Amino acid sequence: MKIRENIIIRGIVQGVGFRPFIHKLVRHYNLSGWIINSNQGVEIEVEGEEEEIKDFLKDIKIKLPPLARIEEIEVKLLPLIGYQDFLIKKSEIRKSNGLVLVSPDICICKDCLEELFNPQDRRFRYPFINCTNCGPRFTIIQDIPYDREKTTMQKFRMCTSCKSEYETIDNRRYHAQPNACNLCGPQVSLYNRKGRKIEGTEPIEEAKKYLKEGKIGAIKGLGGFHLACDATNNQAVLRLRDFKKREDKPFALMSFNLEQIRQYCLIEEAEIALLESRARPIVLLKKKENSRISPLVAPRNQCLGVMLPYTPLHYLLLQGDFLALVMTSGNFGDEPILFDNQEVVEKLEGVADFFLLYNREIFNRCDDSVVKIINQEMVFFRRSRGYVPEPIVLDKEIKEVLAVGGELKNTIALSQGRYVFPSQYLGNLQSADTYEFFKESIQKLKRILKINPRIVACDLHPDYLSTKYAEEIGKQKGLEIVKIQHHYAHIVSCMAENRVKGRVIGVAYDGAGWGEDNYIWGGEFLLADFQGYSRIGHLKYFPLPGGEKAIKEPWRMAYSYLYSIYGSSIHQLSLDFIQRNNSSLYHLLEKMIDQQINSPLTSSCGRLFDAVASLIGIRDKISYEGQAVIEMEALCQEGIKEGYSYLWERVGNLFLISPEDIFREIVTDLKQGVNQAILATKFHNTVANFTVSLCVKIREETQLNQVALSGGVFQNRYLSERIINQLKEKGFQVYFQRKVPPNDGGISLGQAVIAGSK
């Protein structure tokens, strides 16, 4: 019997070869009707034999194109119309509350790569080769539905050959929106340091020559600019450091293939899969000693951030000549990554020796993602290109919310139904340009996702610019404002991505977050579910002398602990630490602490790590966030099992963890000349020990057996692996963040879920 069905498919179904895929299936089953990209996803109508349509629906789910992802299929039976053929209709926007998922940018596929290096192919060495299975997506999309006119490819008119591929159903480029070739598509050009075009040369080959000579280039990538130089050239790397005013912060590297990366890094199996994954993130790998890579790429760091090429342009650039190129974001300090040709020339004049540009615009800028393997699984340090705008899928629907995130490593998020869409990495909002980027990204994401929430969620911190923004637009547009405690957002972020049911013991270890008592929290034990939380324990409060300044100068926190423990007899401790600075500085600090001048109380776990790192002589001042802690972690050794004594005690309703004994025993060790590696490892072991033992105590009282871990401190691999495994040994169900970062980049997800569940 003949029937007619209307089918709506939601998920990542636009720009991934879905319509051609359906067209082929329709031919196979001899169905008639039409298909259209709509703001619901894809809408199909088919007429044909009932059995055939049944099989057709089955095949859709099984034979899906590689980049497509189906979230939902809705089928309606309708009266017959008598369609004669099957049409691919022009996309239209219709008013309805649907949701189209946009694909992230995908690295060049195998087929395109083969064509790129095949002299017989008409796209031989064309730097913008792409097809339905690969290429730019999120970074070029201006609106939905995903059609060429709504991307930054609109200004390029396809030549006859490209057009015929685009229209031929069996072609790999059938309806591939960024389809292009040397005749009709984007072009690369080379500019000198003054921004003047260099004519008469092959731009990429010429750029390679410059790089070999030790020059620094600004190179346009997929989501923004990179500053590039030869990673084996000390002189060039040093110059780049000077320009970027980065003393020690590691630079990311790009190599042509795995064999090259193996020359300077150790790679585990799980890391290979990540390096080769189609998102092509920067993977933090253990560096080999004495490789050809300049030691200035990542001084005093045991890791290197490495990625494989992800665009055809990268492949052409890396081919043959370099062991690795430094490919660091083209920006300064906390400013967002540069993405506009004109702006980059203005801002980087005097920094870059040349500019390798192309004339396709980047619409949504997007930094490289950064990941690391911890406990055999991927952990995000930064979730951006290659992953955004994929949603986190919850197990139940929540209300529509705009969550504006924290202050540092900011991301925003939008929610609808079971989906939460965290934005790309936006950065530190204290920079004026980043704040603009933040506001612009909210508008762009709202437009692409067609979500316009009536609820805005923000942090409890009164001074965060994101909080102020939420208050402002809340008032302006009459939105409901929901303020959420920082560490509660961390824990719910972890619960949401893991689809945890019920309550958990939440352990949030990070740098700083505003507490309900107006102190600075950061070493917190919470009992939490999606409806609310209570604080059950924390690291004991100590003064943070100098406030913000103490974050950049870990010695201040070390002194604060020692002074609180030893009082004025601190000066009798014959420690290197005490001798390193002049005593007038210490007296000033004592005065600040005694008189409570700019010395807010904090329970921050990050500051505890800072203090120990300074005390044992790793670093008194830092030049990038977390530096002292990263360098201390690098010293930890697997074989050392000892730890220090610790104490937690019940005070009222709270468990307080007292680190006094830890400091006393470290001081004793220091006096006995125990080496740094042993000190560092014993300290890490101790933090794992008190964390696990307090969780056991809380379980006894609450019967809760689930633990959710979050906060920036969990980027520490040595510590995280110990805590996770020891908790598991004690029989806990342990949840860890793998879909959004455990750092403040994951806050917006937690905020959205809390506000949307109310």
Stretch that binds Zn ion, among 37-45, 132-140, 219-227, 284-292 (CB under 5 A): 132-140
* Beta carbon of residue 607, minimum distance to Zn ion (angstroms, whole number): 13
Q: At residue 274, what is the residue type?
A: L
| Phi, psi (rounded to 5 degrees) for 333 | 50, -125
* Beta carbon of residue 751, minimum distance to Zn ion (angstroms, whole number): 12
- CB-wise, 4 or 461, nearer to Zn ion? 461
- CB-wise, 162 or 373, nearer to Zn ion? 162
Number of alpha helices (DSSP H) and beta strands (DSSP E) in the chain: 23, 30
β-pairing, 533-539 vs 654-658, is: parallel
DSSP state of 126: -
510 touching Zn ion, by CB under 5 A = yes
Stretch that binds Zn ion, among 342-350, 491-499, 529-537, 742-750 (CB under 5 A): 742-750
109 touching Zn ion, by CB under 5 A = yes
Comparing CA positions, the residue from 494, 624, 483 lying closest to residue 551 is 624
Residue 12 burial (CB < 10 Å; 0-12/13-18/19+)?
buried
Q: Is 584 helix (H, G, I), strand (E, B) or coil?
A: helix
Tokens 């005093």 identify what position?
300
**Residues across the chain:** 758
181 touching Zn ion, by CB under 5 A = yes
507 touching Zn ion, by CB under 5 A = no
131 touching Zn ion, by CB under 5 A = yes
What residues numbered 134-163 form the site for Zn ion, per CB under 5 A? Answer: 134, 159, 162
- Beta carbons within 8 Å of 690's beta carbon, 6+ residues apart: 646, 648, 657
Stretch that binds Zn ion, among 72-80, 94-102, 111-119, 138-146 (CB under 5 A): 111-119
- CB-wise, 183 or 588, nearer to Zn ion? 183
* Beta carbon of residue 686, minimum distance to Zn ion (angstroms, whole number): 22
Q: Which of 184, 272, 393, 634 lies at the binding interface for Zn ion (CB under 5 A)?
A: 184
492 touching Zn ion, by CB under 5 A = no
Q: Is 455 helix (H, G, I), strand (E, B) or coil?
A: strand
- CB-wise, 133 or 614, nearer to Zn ion? 133
* Beta carbon of residue 243, minimum distance to Zn ion (angstroms, whole number): 31
User: Would you tell me the crossing angle of helices 605-615 and 676-702 to the nearest 10 degrees?
Assistant: 160
Task: Write out the two tokens for 441.
Answer: 């990204």
* Beta carbon of residue 550, minimum distance to Zn ion (angstroms, whole number): 17
261 touching Zn ion, by CB under 5 A = no
* Beta carbon of residue 463, minimum distance to Zn ion (angstroms, whole number): 15
Asked whether 42 and 36 are in contact (CB, 8 A), the reply is yes
- CB-wise, 109 or 724, nearer to Zn ion? 109
- CB-wise, 599 or 751, nearer to Zn ion? 751
240 touching Zn ion, by CB under 5 A = no
Q: Is 13 helix (H, G, I), strand (E, B) or coil?
A: strand
Asked whether 496 and 392 are in contact (CB, 8 A), the reply is yes
105 touching Zn ion, by CB under 5 A = no
* Beta carbon of residue 742, minimum distance to Zn ion (angstroms, whole number): 9
User: ∠ at Cα 597 (594, 601), nearest 5°?
Assistant: 80
Total residues contacting Zn ion by CB under 5 A comes to: 12
484 touching Zn ion, by CB under 5 A = no
Give percent helix, percent strand, percent coil of the chain, each to the nearest 5: 35, 25, 40
- CB-wise, 93 or 183, nearer to Zn ion? 183
Output the DSSP codes for 377-422. Answer: EEEEEE--TTTTTPPEEEEEEEEEEEE---STTB--EEEEEEEEEE
Q: CA–CA separation, 602 vs 584, rounded Å?
A: 24
* Beta carbon of residue 337, minimum distance to Zn ion (angstroms, whole number): 22
- CB-wise, 184 or 479, nearer to Zn ion? 184
Stretch that binds Zn ion, among 76-84, 178-186, 284-292, 375-383 (CB under 5 A): 178-186
- CB-wise, 172 or 450, nearer to Zn ion? 172
Tokens 């302006």 identify what position?
476
Residues at the site binding Zn ion, with contacts judged by CB under 5 A = 109, 112, 131, 133-134, 159, 162, 181, 183-184, 510, 744
